[in-house]
Amino acid sequence: MIELRPGGRPEPEPAGASYTNWESVYQDNVVGIYQLAFRRVGNAADAEDVAEEVLIRTLNTLRFPAPVHNVRSYLVKTARSVLADHWRRHYAAQTAVGELEQLPPEGLSGPPNTVASERAQRVLALLPDQFKRVLELRFLRGYSVREVATEMGVSEANARVLQFRALRKAATFDQEVLT
**Residue 55 confidence (pLDDT):** 93
Regarding whether 98 and 29 lie in a shared domain, the answer is yes
Give the domain CATH number at 67.
1.10.1740
Domain-ending residue, one of 102, 118, 153: 102
CB–CB of 38/44 below 8 Å? yes
Residue 47: other Cβ atoms inside 10 A: 21
For residue 140, give Cα distances in angstroms to 35, 105, 122, 135. Answer: 39, 11, 14, 7
pLDDT in tens, 82-128: 998 888 887 776 665 565 555 555 544 455 667 777 887 888 888 89
Read off the pLDDT of residues 47-71 as tens digits, 9 standing for 90 and up.
999 999 999 999 888 888 999 999 9
- Please state whether the predicted TM-score (pTM) of the whole model is above 0.75: no
Last residue of a domain, one of 102, 117, 137: 102
pLDDT tens digit sequence for 115-167: 777 887 888 888 899 999 998 888 888 888 899 999 999 998 898 889 888 88
Q: Domain range for residue 117?
A: 105-178
Domain count, the chain: 2
